[in-house]
Structure 1
Amino acid sequence: MIAKERDELSEFYQASFPLDFETVSYNIAPTNLVPIVVEREIDSVPSREIHPARFGLIPAWAKDVGNTPLFNARIETVLEKPSFKDSALKKRCVIPASGYFEWDKDKNPLFVYAEPFISFAGIYSFWRDPSKAATDPSRWVLSCSILTKTASPALSEIHDRSPVFLSEDGIEAWISPDYETTDELLMALGQESDLVAEELSYHLVSKEVGNVRNNHPGLIAEIAF
C-alpha cells in the first residue's frame, strides 16, 4: 500500500511523473494500478520515471489478460518460467510502498513497513490488447509483478515467503537498463533483501484489510494483541 503523495515519491526516487494518476491507496489488490519506477536512457542520459502499472503481470505473448493475475514472481524460477523470463532479463522496476500486509501463521493481519518507503524489486511488461485499434493509445497495458523469496530470519515467524526488498543503494543497480539479469545477480539480490528485512518493523492491524473494499488510513493503525 502507498500512504504517500506524488511529491514524496518523486523526491525519494528522483523520478518524474509523465502521467497524472493517484498514488495513495491503503489496500491494493491484484489488477489495481500501482506506481512503478523505471529507468531508460534519453540521449545517453539516464532518466527515471514513475508510471501506473496493473498489479499482475501480463506476458507480452498472452492472448488476453487472463483470470489469474501474476502478481508474485519467485526469484528462484523467474528466469525460467515462460510468463516471467522475458521481463526478468531486462524489464526491471522498483515497486514502491509504505508497507504491505501479511497474515501470520495464526491468520492475524500484520502491517510490515519502513520509513519513508519499502522498495520492492519488480519486473514489468507491455502487453498489446488485440481487441483495440492500432491507433488507440490505450491498446498498450503496462503491468508488473513483485519478486518473492524465502523469508529472511527477520520475517520467517510471520510467513515463509516475503517480497524481495531493495536497499537505497541497490535501487540504481536493479533498474539500470544496460545489462541482463543473471542467476548470480538474483542470488546477491536475495542476500541484500535479507539485510533490508532486518530494518523493517511490523504490528498487528484490523482484519478489515481482508476486504479490498476497505481503503482508509485506519487499516494501518496498530491494534493490541
Structure 2
Amino acid sequence: MCGRFVIAKDLGFIAEAFEVDEFNQSQDFRSYNIAPSTQVPIIIEREIDGLPSREIHSARWGLVPSWAKEISGAPLFNARIETVLEKPSFKEAALIKRCAVPASGYFEWQSVGDTKEPFYIYPEESMLAFAGIYWWWRDPSKLATDPTRWQLTTAIFSKDSAPNLSFIHDRSPVMLSPENISAWLAPDYETSQELLDALSEESDLVAQNLSYHKVNRALGSVSENTARNIEAI
C-alpha cells in the first residue's frame, strides 16, 4: 500500500518533468510527509479543440464515490489494482477517470517483531508517477449555486509488491514508466483488466531501478514534516 509519500519539488519542476501544459503556479504541494485526506497534485489529460492538454489539479487524497452522501470514515486513498473494476467505490472512476500522481518517493513500513521500521523508497533521478483515478464528488448538502459543492478526489492504485521490494512490505503503489504515461492518461478509452495487468507488470520494472533506506520512525506523526524524514539512519 502507499499511505505516506513525498513531494520535494515545486510545480514548475513537476510540470516540466511531466510535460504539463496547464497548472496553477501559485500552488505549492511540497511536503515530506503527505498523508491521506490532504490535497495532492494529480496530472490529467483532456481533449481541447481536438488536441490533448495535460493539466495539474489539486485533489483530496481519498476518493469519494458519486453515491456517497458525505465525506466520512477512513479515506479511500488506495485502490487495489486487482479488484478496482469490481469494487463499487472505485469502478465508476476506474473506467474513465485515470490520472497520475507525481511523487519524489514514498514510505513503507517493514514489520520487525513487534515494531515497524519505515523505509524511504525513491528514484535517484527525476520523479515517480503513481497510477491513480479521480472523481468529482458533489456535496448534496450544498446549494447548486455554491461553487464549493464540487470536490475533486483521488486514489492511488496498489498492487503486490515488486520482488525487489517485497521484503519491506507486501504491497506497493503502482508506478508508471515515462514511456507509458501518455497512454494511461489518454481520455478516449475505457480501462480494461488486460490493461491493468500490463500496468502491474510495468510497475515491477520501474521498481527495479528504485533505491531505498531506513528512516526515522518519527515520521509516523504527520506533524513531522521536514527533509529529515527522508534522511538515512
179, 184, 195: which one pairs with 1:174? 184
Within 5 Å, which residues of 2 pair with 1:119-198? 119-198=129-208
Letter in 2 for 1:178: D
SS at match of 1:34: strand
**Contact residue 99 and residue 132 of structure 2 kept, 8 A:** yes
Uncovered stretches (5+) of structure 2, i.e. residues with no partner:
1-5
**Residues 1:61 and 2:67 aligned together:** yes
111, 125, 138: which one pairs with 2:120? 111
Within 5 Å, which residues of 2 pair with 1:62-81? 62-81=68-87
Within 5 Å, which residues of 2 pair with 1:15-34? 15=20, 16-18=22-24, 20-34=26-40
Q: Deviations over 1:178-203 (max 9, x none)?
A: 10000100010011001001001101
Q: Deviations over 1:152-172 (max 9, x none)?
A: 101111111111010001111
Inter-partner Cα distance in structure 2 for 1:213 and 1:200:
27
SS at match of 2:13: helix
Inter-partner Cα distance in structure 2 for 1:154 and 1:172:
26
197, 211, 215: which one pairs with 2:221? 211
- Count of residue correspondences: 223
**Contact residue 18 and residue 49 of structure 1 kept, 8 A:** no
Inter-partner Cα distance in structure 2 for 1:98 and 1:137:
32
How well do the aligned residues superpose, as a CA RMSD in angstroms? 1.0
Q: Deviations over 1:58-98 (max 9, x none)?
A: 00111111211000000000000000000000100001100
Inter-partner Cα distance in structure 2 for 1:19 and 1:176:
24
**Residues 1:47 and 2:56 aligned together:** no
**Residues 1:11 and 2:20 aligned together:** no
Using the TM superposition, give the Cα deviation of residue 105 of structure 1 relative to its aligned residue in structure 2, in angstroms.
Answer: 2.3
**Contact residue 19 and residue 51 of structure 1 kept, 8 A:** no
**Contact residue 118 and residue 217 of structure 2 kept, 8 A:** yes
Inter-partner Cα distance in structure 2 for 1:194 and 1:113:
14
TM-score (norm: length of structure 1): 0.97
**Contact residue 121 and residue 147 of structure 1 kept, 8 A:** yes
Using the TM superposition, give the Cα deviation of residue 20 of structure 1 relative to its aligned residue in structure 2, in angstroms.
Answer: 3.3
**Contact residue 79 and residue 155 of structure 2 kept, 8 A:** yes
Identical amino acids, percent of aligned pairs:
57
**Contact residue 12 and residue 25 of structure 2 kept, 8 A:** no
Using the TM superposition, give the Cα deviation of residue 21 of structure 1 relative to its aligned residue in structure 2, in angstroms.
Answer: 1.9
Uncovered stretches (5+) of structure 1, i.e. residues with no partner:
none
